[in-house]
Amino acid sequence: SNQFPVRPDSQSTPWRFGIVASEYNQQYVDGLVGFAKDELQVIAPKSETTILRVPGSFEIPIAVQAVVERQRVDAILAFGVIFDGETMHAQLIAGAVTTALMNLSLQHKVPILHEVLVVKNDQQATERCLLPKTNRGIEAARAAIRILGSLNNLGKE
């Protein structure tokens, strides 16, 4: 069904990654963080990763902004899990976070990998957060390294 990105070649660049992760729905978010950290270590063993925890997904953008402004990072991975209930709440939060992260990325010229997931149930959350085959943490790590490679290659022809 969906194309899972292949693992990029091993990189010797000492990149600095920031991870901003929600404490809400912690078991699932911890899965994303763990898989992402491991994948970054495998692909870019000289890189460093700093993790900042925030209460919920709505607080992710302010924390991302703080990381970008106070630390030198090459890319940020944003992780949260929102269960889609019967109200508009999940959609409102997800939409607001998405817009804020895109604006921060463009304003600061730093790739921000958006993995604030809206899921319908535990099965969806488990597949995306806890299982390696469809893990959004792994996907975010690979995408972070790919976008850094793309941006670094600009103007080098």
Q: Does the active-site annotation cover 108?
A: no
DSSP string, the chain: ---PPPPPPP-----EEEEEEESTTHHHHHHHHHHHHHHHHHH-TT-EEEEEEESSGGGHHHHHHHHHHHS--SEEEEEEEEE--SSSHHHHHHHHHHHHHHHHHHHHT--EEEEEEEESSHHHHHHHHT-GGG-HHHHHHHHHHHHHHHHHHTT--
**Which tokens belong to 53?**
């925890």
| Catalytic choice (7, 46, 89, 120) | 89
Query: Which strands, in side-by-side order, build the sheet including 75-83?
Result: 48-54, 16-22, 75-83, 112-119
**Which residues belong to the active site?**
89
